[in-house]
């Protein structure tokens, strides 16, 4: 793709920080052995809230969702795709604890963020910082 500003293009994804009463985060493994926050890429013209709701329905079968507030924005360089990824991260509450794994999700569970704090993977290490948020 050529354009006037090729260095400014990002793949934008919405990610959900969902905590249980023990302070653990809901994490998923999707086509990888790495843990990730649930969520995914926004479709063109889709709002962040609509994107989070769609992604949580697709990944873990969640349909009763409250998007509480934005937490932060984080960018990562994806070496395998030679492109930038931007995460829009929101605090989200699920009204049900029942999880139904969607296509492409091999595992989903609540974990203490600190287990990822020393990961060599940049995205896992970043997720490990959410222990105090």
Question: Cα(52)–Cα(6) distance, rounded to whole angstroms?
Answer: 27
Query: Long-range contact list for 62-67, CB < 8 A, 24+ apart?
Result: 62/94, 62/96, 62/99, 64/94, 64/95, 64/96, 65/92, 65/93, 65/94, 65/95, 66/92, 66/93, 66/95, 67/91, 67/92
Residue listed under structure tokens 């829009």:
88
Number of domains into which the chain is organized:
1
Query: Does some domain include residue 42?
Result: yes
Residue appearing with tokens 């709002």: 47
Classify residue 102: in a domain, yes or no: yes
Q: How confident is the model at residue 1 (pLDDT cuts 50, 70, 90)?
A: very low
pLDDT of residue 124 exceeding 60, the answer is yes
CATH number where 41 lies: 3.90.79.10
- Report if residue 3 sits inside a domain: no
User: Are 111 and 130 within 8 A, CB to CB?
Assistant: no
Please state, in angstroms and rounded to a whole number, the distance separating the CA atoms of residues 119 and 102: 26
Kindly state whether residue 6 falls inside one of the protein's structural domains: no
* Residue 132 predicted with pLDDT over 80: no
Residue at 4 is within a domain: no
> What percent of the chain is modeled with pLDDT above 70?
92
Q: How many CB atoms lie within 10 A of CB 44?
A: 5
In a domain, 74, yes or no: yes
| 99 within a domain of the structure (yes/no) | yes
Mean pLDDT of the 82-107 span: 92
**Predicted confidence (pLDDT) per residue in 40-51, tens digit:** 999 999 999 999
Arithmetic mean of pLDDT over the chain:
90
What's the pLDDT band for 74 if we cut at 50, 70, 90? very high
Can you give the residue range of the structural domain that contains 30? 12-131
Is the pLDDT at 11 greater than 90, yes or no?
no
**Average pLDDT of the segment spanning 23-49:** 94
- Asked whether residue 20 is domain-assigned, the answer is yes
**How far apart (Å, rounded) are the C-alpha atoms in residues 65 and 2?**
39
Of 6 and 18, the structure prediction assigns the larger pLDDT to: 18
Q: Do 29 and 107 contact (CB within 8 A), yes or no?
A: yes
């Amino acid at each position: 793709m050529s354009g006037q500003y090729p260095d400014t293009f990002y793949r934008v994804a919405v990610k959900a920080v969902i905590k249980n009463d023990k302070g653990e985060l809901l994490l998923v493994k999707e086509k990888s052995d790495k843990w990730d926050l649930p969520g995914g890429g926004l479709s063109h013209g889709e709002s962040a809230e609509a994107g989070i709701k769609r992604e949580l329905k697709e990944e873990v079968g969640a349909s009763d969702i409250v998007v509480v507030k934005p937490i932060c924005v984080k960018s990562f360089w994806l070496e395998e795709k030679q492109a930038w990824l931007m995460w829009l991260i929101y605090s989200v509450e699920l009204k049900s604890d029942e999880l139904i794994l969607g296509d492409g999700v091999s595992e989903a569970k609540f974990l203490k963020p600190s287990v990822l704090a020393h990961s060599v993977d940049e995205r896992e290490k970043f997720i490990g910082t959410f222990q105090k948020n």
